[in-house]
Amino acid sequence: MTATSLPRRNLLRALAATVALVGGAAPAWGGAAFAAEPETYTLTIRHLDRDGRPTAPYRTNVTGISGPGADTSVRPEAPSGVTTLRLPKGRYLLDSTLASGLEPGGTIWTDWIVQPRLDLDHDTTVTVDARTTAPVSVRPPDGSAAFVHSAMFVSVTHGGATRTVEVANGSPNLRVAHLGPETEAGAVKQWFDVNWKTDSVDYLLGPTFSGSRALTGLTRQYSAPELATLRVRGAAGPGGAGIGLLSFQPSEGASIGISRSMATPGTATFVVTPERGSWDVGYTAPRADESAPNSYTTERVAVRAGATTTRTFDGPVFGPALTERPAVSRDGDRITADIPLLADGDGHAPSAPSFDTAYTSLYRDGALVGAASGTPGQGEFTVPPAPGSYRLATTVTRKAAAGATTRVTASWTFASATTSGPTALPVSVVRFSPELDPTGTAAAGNAVRVPVTVQGAAADGRVRSLTVSASTDGGASWTRLPVESGAVTVRNPAAGTGVSLRAELTDADGNTLDQTITDAYRTR
């Protein structure tokens, strides 16, 4: 779940809305649950402002955690500031948002009060008092950074169930407080995400806490060595220069995250708190002509205090890549291929790659089993159960673009027989990773070192043989290049020329790969 900040007018509207609740009336929860446990109690909630007076508007939620009311979630409201309702016996989580400074021209302050443990086993009165709150101030080392938005989350676990509540804020003026008794040790998890921004850096700071109480106030001034830097580069891929779209959020837990545009080629810099864990990045590149844009997602990017991590999207060399899921698998007598053929230079596979034509075919003992077209690297084929020798071949093409692969062909051979369940088949790919400029090109006439990486069945020292060749005439002729220390060296041709790369591989079990990337990169 991802929360977003509330604009000022929406916050006013939400806090100003009141609905009269008849005293003693029961809220609408599942009739079956009520019938199974008819024991109910009265819960009275009093809301006081910073002057100690009954106040409205407010926004209060009562959320069931365990017991007959575990699935109950109500938001009682009344203009008087005092609400009364009946609920089944059980453990509840209460949170309440009050605001001050709502008058025209006033500075809005939000008070958020959380009671992680509300055991309703008798008629109970709870007083939500804004005077008990303390300020929240979590700031980056750069004093010139401007506040963007924030959200605080409280997660409570009891009886095997977890409930989470949150408050989103469009201003830095937030105060918070714990209410009521403590919960069991470690039952409360709380985190605060706040986004500050300068012209060149986005700060997403996320201190986290665990214990038996909700926070009452929070003050943290981060220093630069405590934070980690993550740079996201958008290359000039098939769409060329333009505006890309970027999303960025923690991998774990609810978060406000960040969504923003980015000029490409270009770089966005995020400075984050390592204690918030790993990070998920989404990137949508500019469109190439009228085709769909390349959209990428990379998850669980690890960061470290004092270190910089860089991820580049939509840049060459585009080509086959293998992810955690099997690229080619067999389930009984069904062989399925789903091979990312146009992963970018960092190995990110686009969700819907731009292409012109795609064709995949499967042969068994030299005879065509079937063919599929329309989606790069994908096909499903029904095959006989008996053992056989297979060759899977696939091709994808797309229009020429600066620094972008125009054609990928690959074929694999392997032996296979029927299986009792989903089984990965032994395929490999070769990745080429030259250092290129932001436009995805390399200087003409220079010698370029091109790292060569094997993924799949032949990885981890299981290569029996590997040859790599380069072509500067679109594949009409090839020059074999020695693989030395995990790389080959290419002498770049004249400016404006495409460099194509080919790999022929046999793994330790005799399975083979023949892979060609036409116009892997271009010279300038």
pLDDT digits (tens, 9 = 90+) for 64-108: 999 999 999 999 989 999 999 999 999 999 999 998 765 555 567
SS3 513: strand
What's the pLDDT score for residue 420?
Answer: 97
Query: Which CATH architecture does the domain made up of 224-313 adopt?
Result: Sandwich (2.60)
Per-residue pLDDT at 10: 38
Exposed (0-12), middle (13-18) or buried (19+): which is 523, by Cβ within 10 Å? buried
Q: What are phi and psi of 8, to 5 degrees?
A: -55, -45
Residues 25-47, mean pLDDT to the nearest whole number: 64
Please name which of 420, 518, 407, 425 lies closest in space to residue 471, comparing C-alpha atoms.
Answer: 518
Q: In this structure, what are the phi and psi dihedrals at residue 143, rounded to the nearest 5 degrees? A: -65, -15
**Nearest-angstrom CA–CA distance, 274 and 302:** 8
223: Cβ contacts below 8 Å, ≥ 6 apart: 141
DSSP 433-448: -----TTSEE-TT-EE
β-pairing verdict for 498-507 and 512-523: antiparallel
d(Cα 455, Cα 56) in Å, to the nearest integer? 62
Task: Measure the CA–CA gap between 375 and 354, rounded to whole angstroms.
Answer: 10
Q: Which of 98-112, 479-493, 499-513 has the lowest mean pLDDT?
A: 98-112
Q: Count Cβ atoms below 10 Å from residue 439 Cβ, excluding itself.
A: 19
**First and final CA of the chain: distance in angstroms?**
45
Q: How far is CA 206 from the centre of its chain?
A: 16
Average pLDDT, rounded, for the chain:
90
**pLDDT at position 17 over 60:** no
Residue 396 pLDDT greater than 90, yes or no: yes
Asked whether the predicted pLDDT for residue 8 surpasses 70, the reply is: no
pLDDT of residue 4: 37
Per-residue model confidence (pLDDT) at position 289: 66
Which DSSP symbol is given to 319? B
d(CA 27, CA 41): 12
pLDDT at res. 44: 98
Q: Which residues contact 301 (CB under 8 A, 6 or more apart)?
A: 230, 278, 279, 280, 281, 309, 311
Q: Please say if the pLDDT value at position 404 is more than 80.
A: no
Per-residue pLDDT tens digits for 159-196:
999 999 999 999 999 999 999 999 999 999 999 999 99
Q: Where in the chain is the domain with CATH 2.60.40.1120?
A: 8-221
Paired sense of beta strands 202-205 and 266-272, if any: parallel
Where do the CATH 2.60.40.2190 domains begin and end in the chain? 224-313
To the nearest 10°, report the CA torsion of 403, 235, 280, 346: 40
Q: What is the pLDDT of residue 56?
A: 85
Give CA–CA dist 346/253, Å, rounded.
27
State both tokens at 403. 């620094």
Which 8-state DSSP code applies to residue 6?
P
Q: Which amino acid is at 414?
A: F
pLDDT digits (tens, 9 = 90+) for 126-156: 999 999 999 999 999 999 999 999 999 999 9
Does 2 score more than 50 pLDDT?
A: no
pLDDT tens digits, 187-225: 999 999 999 999 999 999 999 999 999 999 999 999 999
Residue 342 has pLDDT above 50, yes or no: yes
Total-model pTM = 0.82
- Least confident range of 14-23, 30-39, 318-327: 14-23
Percent of the chain residues past pLDDT 90, beyond the cut: 81
Of 472, 468, 481, whose CA–CA distance to 516 is shortest? 468
In this structure, whether the domain defined by 8-221 belongs to CATH 2.60.40.1120 is answered with yes
pLDDT score recorded for residue 101: 65
Q: pLDDT class for 7, splitting at 50, 70, 90?
A: very low
Helix (H, G, I), strand (E, B) or coil at 20: coil
Instruction: Assess whether pLDDT exceeds 80 at residue 293.
Output: no
Classify residue 496 as left (phi > 0), alpha (psi -120 to 50) or beta.
left
**Residue 34 host element (H or E):** helix 31-36
Strands 40-48 and 124-129: parallel
Token pair 């989103």 in the structure block, residue: 168
Distance of CA 285 to the CA centre of its chain: 16
User: Look-up: residue for tokens 């500050």?
Assistant: 196
Alpha-carbon span 377 to 215, nearest angstrom: 51
Model confidence at 61: pLDDT above 50: yes
Burial (0-12, 13-18, 19+ Cβ within 10 Å), 131: exposed
**Structure token pair of residue 500:** 């194509």
Confidence at 111, pLDDT banded by 50, 70, 90: very high
CB 398 within 8 A of CB 405: yes
Q: Which of 53-57, 91-95, 343-347 has the lowest mean pLDDT?
A: 53-57
Q: Report whether pLDDT(261) > 90.
A: yes
Contacts of 71 (CB under 8 A, 6+ apart): 29, 30, 33, 64
- pLDDT value, residue 352: 83
Q: For residues 25 and 69, what is the distance between their CA atoms, to the nearest angstrom?
A: 16
Q: Which of 156-160, 289-293, 364-368 has the lowest mean pLDDT?
A: 289-293
- Sort strands 447-456 and 428-432 into parallel, antiparallel or unpaired: antiparallel
**pLDDT recorded at residue 324:** 82
Give the separation between CA 23 and CA 410, rounded to whole angstroms: 72
User: Do 262 and 236 meet the contact criterion of CB atoms below 8 Å apart?
Assistant: no
Q: Which amino acid is at 67?
A: G
